[in-house]
Amino acid sequence: MRVLEIALLVLVLPLAAATWTNKGVTREYWLEITDVTVSPDGIPRPAMAVNGSIPGPTIFADWGDTVIVHVKNSLTTSLNGTSLHFHGIRQNFTKQSDGVPSITECPSPPGSTKTYHWEAVQYGTSWYHSHFGLQLWQGVFGGIVINGPATADYDVDLGVLFLNDWDRRTVDELHPVAEVTGPPFLATGLINGTNVDGSTGLGQRLNISLEAAADLVPITPYTTTTLDIAIGQRYDLIIHGNQQPTAESFWLRALPQTTCSFTNNTDNIRAVVHYGRQPPDVLPQTTGYNFTDAMDASDGR
């Protein structure tokens, strides 16, 4: 489990209940999976990308749309087969598009293109990823955003924010280690495919609110200072930037929960949350909230 510590007030609101109907609109995407060399933490290593990026491009649709995704396998270096699974999407009458090799399909070989189609019967945020071998951890993943009813207004959609582990070794190097000694410690974590070091200082904590839904399912509102996010889990968040003139830049902190994850970078996976007319010229001076690094019945996790 990874804890997203944003040092802010969090308010989670359920989405409005409604009935799905097909809108007669088709959204079509073309994705290409390739072998690449990347340096998200400054150290180059082989990886895989979707349309040349990690994470891959976000699939956008409206509630009730039909979604068609063409996936081309261009893994000419690793010569891997591949697939694409749309996480959390209900494949009603479209089981052949679930993207799970050896269950719903055979892997797509290099040089081939496979077309997936499904109906957007839910709304909210999810993600897609390869379900073949360990390609997900090589970089084959991206976001899914299905627009639908909401209980609050917002001004700007900043897209999907991914948190993931990262190591300088490839998954092919890590897999035999895991088989012999168990889960290995990884070097660091990434926020939207990158990591920039910064220093922690003392200062005011961000006092803003978030409105969210979880995993395409309405949930009960609650207020908190940290947000626990399990592996693969998603939240839809609305941030209210209302702290000017006191401050306009704040640390977003992703803290790996050491009871069920292993990383050598436990306190420096961060990004800057900034609102204002000009880009920030100095690093934030906000401090993080304390949280219980545990996963048991006593703390409700």
Q: Where are the domains of the chain?
A: 26-149
Residues 6+ apart with CB under 8 A from 87: 126, 127, 128, 129, 144, 232
pLDDT of 70-129, one tens digit each? 999 999 998 999 999 999 899 999 999 999 999 999 999 999 999 999 999 998 889 999
pTM over 0.95: no
What is the pLDDT confidence band of residue 21, given thresholds at 50, 70 and 90? confident
**301 pLDDT more than 50:** no
Question: How far from chain centre, in Å, is Cα 115?
Answer: 23
The per-residue pLDDT for 271 is: 83
pLDDT of 144-186, one tens digit each? 999 887 766 777 777 888 888 888 899 889 889 889 988 888 8
* AA letter at 40: P
Q: Rounded to whole angstroms, what are the CA distances from 14 to 9, 17, 59, 194, 219?
A: 17, 9, 23, 31, 5
Q: For residues 245 and 97, give the distance between their C-alpha atoms in angstroms, rounded to a whole number.
A: 50
Question: How far from chain centre, in Å, is Cα 216?
Answer: 14
3-state SS, residue 91 = coil
CATH among 2.60.120.260, 3.90.105.10, 2.60.40.420, 2.40.30.10 for 26-149:
2.60.40.420
* Cis peptide bond N-terminal to 149, omega within 30: no
For range 192-215, the mean pLDDT: 44
The per-residue pLDDT for 13 is: 37
What is the pLDDT confidence band of residue 193, given thresholds at 50, 70 and 90? confident
Q: For residues 125 and 264, give the distance between their C-alpha atoms in angstroms, rounded to a whole number.
A: 29
Query: What letter would DSSP give residue 1?
Result: -
**17 pLDDT more than 60:** no
The per-residue pLDDT for 220 is: 64
Q: For residues 156 and 122, give the distance between their C-alpha atoms in angstroms, rounded to a whole number.
A: 22
What is the pLDDT confidence band of residue 233, given thresholds at 50, 70 and 90? confident
